[in-house]
Amino acid sequence: MNEVMAALAREHSQVSFVQLEAEAVPEVSEKYGISSVPTFLFFKNSQKVDRLDGAHAPELTQKVQRHAAGAAPAAPAQEQLHARLSRLVNAAPCVLFMKGSPKEPRCGFSRQMVQLLQEHGVAFSTFDVFSDEEVRQGLKAFSNWPTYPQLYVHGELVGGLDVVKELAASGELDTICPKGQKLEDRLKSLINKAPVMLFMKGNKQMAKCGFSKQIIEIMNNTGVDYETFDILEDEEVRQGLKSFSNWPTYPQLYVKGELVGGLDIVKELKESGELLPVLKGEN
């Protein structure tokens, strides 16, 4: 998401983009109810006017474009809303408009829908209709469907919970919806993405916690090539890797798909002279 933010900042020079580490400013996190990262807050005239929870690049782009438009001449309101809804239903191959989020559904029907899609391994993005009243009301007319949740595939309405249940029972859901990669398979792929992989807060250019900064300094001094993964940009990976590796904190260093450990382990290996052989896969 850092690259997306940088691109948006270049495109909308009239907008100020500010990045904060949630854990470093707990009073801000508490004030605005930040419970996951990344969370994007939009302010105009010192007032919060919108927010987006999660790493949803298409939706972030749409929100920035909409708010950045400011006083620019706009199309008639209904046409503008229709265009926005068209973009939202096409924001991903499979989009679920629901109440709440997959981790915190705010109605029983939304909870059931999420469980059903997850059980069938469907890859889907979500939009919380409680976060935007214009979308919540407008999509009902746009889709000619009066209730939520609503599931869209390739921009076309599939239906609500009852319809999706019927599709699941008939076996059609598996043919209609795109499949997602299982988390365990995804994690295995990530830890083997490069011979040496570092899962950290931030990246090589900008570490976002003291432990990550220290391990980056040590790694850079070894002269060994390595790649990083910013766990702050993917909550699923951030939480899932803790269980997968049975290691509760970050950073985490992997060599050839095997966990080496965190900062303390890396420091011990450095002091004993074993770090370089370990990174080269010799030990």
Task: Indicate whether 273 and 262 sit together in one domain.
Answer: yes
Read off the pLDDT of each residue in 194-219 and give the average, rounded to a whole number: 94
Domain boundary among 124, 155, 180: 180
> So what's the pLDDT on residue 283?
67
The length of the chain is 283
Domain boundary among 164, 180, 196: 180
Residue type, 119: E
With tokens 């191959």, the residue in question is 93
Q: Give the range of the structural domain holding residue 231, as residue numbers without chain letter.
A: 183-279
- Work out the pLDDT band at 181, boundaries 50, 70, 90: low
Instruction: Please count the structural domains in the chain.
Output: 3
Task: Indicate whether 67 and 2 sit together in one domain.
Answer: yes
Q: Are 68 and 15 in contact (CB under 8 A)?
A: yes
Task: Indicate whether 174 and 190 sit together in one domain.
Answer: no
Read off the pLDDT of each residue in 209-221 and give the average, rounded to a whole number: 96
One-letter-per-residue 3-state SS of the chain: CHHHHHHHHHHCCCCCCCCCCHHHCHHHHHHCCCCCCCEEEEEECCEEEEEEECCCHHHHHHHHHHHHCCCCCCCCHHHHHHHHHHHHHCCCCEEEEECECCCCECCHHHHHHHHHHHHCCECCEEEEHHHCHHHHHHHHHHHCCCCCCEEEECCEEEECHHHHHHHHHHCCHHHHCCECCCHHHHHHHHHCCCCEEEEECECCCCECCHHHHHHHHHHHHHCCCCEEEEHHHCHHHHHHHHHHHCCCCCCEEEECCEEEECHHHHHHHHHHCCHHHHHCCCC
Q: What is the mean pLDDT of the chain?
A: 89
The pLDDT of residue 75 is above 70: no
**Nearby residues of 256 by Cβ (< 8 Å), 6 or more positions away:** 192, 195, 281
Task: Indicate whether 207 and 158 sit together in one domain.
Answer: no
Tens-place pLDDT, residues 120-142: 988 888 899 998 899 999 999 99
Which one is predicted more confidently, 183 or 173? 173
CATH of the domain at 241: 3.40.30.10
Task: Indicate whether 153 and 191 sit together in one domain.
Answer: no
Task: Indicate whether 8 and 61 sit together in one domain.
Answer: yes
User: How many Cβ atoms sit within 10 Å of the Cβ of residue 46?
Assistant: 5
Least confidently predicted of 70-79, 194-203, 245-254: 70-79
Domain boundary among 147, 162, 180: 180
The pLDDT of residue 6 is above 90: no
Q: Which of 178, 130, 132 is nearest to 152 (CA)?
A: 178
Q: Of 76-85, 181-190, 210-219, where does the model show the most confidence?
A: 210-219
Read off the pLDDT of each residue in 247-260 and give the average, rounded to a whole number: 96
> So what's the pLDDT on residue 71?
39
Q: What is the pTM of this model?
A: 0.45
Task: Indicate whether 224 and 153 sit together in one domain.
Answer: no
The pLDDT of residue 72 is above 70: no
Task: Indicate whether 274 and 224 sit together in one domain.
Answer: yes
> So what's the pLDDT on residue 76?
67
The pLDDT of residue 200 is above 50: yes
Read off the pLDDT of each residue in 188-209 and give the average, rounded to a whole number: 94
Q: Which of 92, 100, 110 is nearest to 56 (CA)?
A: 92
